[in-house]
Amino acid sequence: MAMTEEEKKYKGIIWTLSVIIPVAVAALFGINLRKLGYDVEPLSFLPPIYATINGLTAVLLFAAVAAIKKNKVKLHETLIKVCMLCSSLFLIMYVAYHMTSDSTPFGGDGTIRYVYFFILITHIVLSIIIIPFVLFTFVRGIAGAYERHKRLARITYPMWMYVAVTGVIVYLMIAPYYVH
């Protein structure tokens, strides 16, 4: 099937965002304002908030899929928009936390350490890969390219769900090691 005009219009923007977002996050992640001499309070209260937002994203994604299976298109669209907002809020809070606080090393030993790093690494890699999938899936839905939207959503949904759920798991695994 041919790409809709809407998809063509946003294709360049989607690919640009798919590169800029991870690069900006990586760059900002490496900047600690306190270490640069700025008098800012560490935003140490943020991790449980952004972990909760990740959990909420997973619940809302599940609800969005349930809604579309019941042919509740408008509810599905609204829930997906809220998921995108939640993911954006997560990203902003995540970067703000890391720009004002020292990274927390994982303190577990043995097998759990390997499990933690496997989950963390797959979470990070998929959180980068998912960006164009989410954006193209969204544009296809908005553009009315429903068959193409549905095909791509079958790939996007499990990846996005994995990123949201593993974000919570990573937080729960590292939470005991946070310095308050």
pLDDT in tens, 51-96: 999 999 999 999 999 999 999 999 999 999 999 999 999 999 999 9
**pLDDT of 1 above 90:** no
Each residue's pLDDT tens digit, 99-142:
999 888 999 999 999 999 999 999 999 999 999 999 999 999 99
Can you give the pTM of this predicted structure? 0.92
Q: What are phi and psi of 5, to 5 degrees?
A: -60, -40
What is the total residue count of the chain?
180
Q: Tell me what pLDDT residue 33 has.
A: 93
What are 96's two structure tokens?
């703000």
The answer to whether the beta carbons of residues 106 and 113 sit under 8 Å apart is yes
Residues 45-50 have a mean pLDDT of 96
Cβ neighbors of 99 (< 8 A, separation 6 or more) are: 28, 29, 31, 32, 33
Domains defined for the chain, CATH in brackets:
5-177 (1.20.120.80)
Q: Tell me what pLDDT residue 180 has.
A: 58
What distance in Å separates the CA atoms of residue 87 and residue 126, rounded to the nearest whole number?
13
CB atoms < 10 A from the CB of 101, how many?
A: 20
The answer to whether the beta carbons of residues 148 and 8 sit under 8 Å apart is no
Q: What region, left, alpha or beta, does residue 152 occupy, with left being phi > 0 and alpha being psi -120 to 50 degrees?
A: alpha
Tell me 175's DSSP state: G
Q: Tell me what pLDDT residue 4 has.
A: 83
Q: Tell me what pLDDT residue 30 has.
A: 84
Q: Which residue has the higher pLDDT, 6 or 45?
A: 45
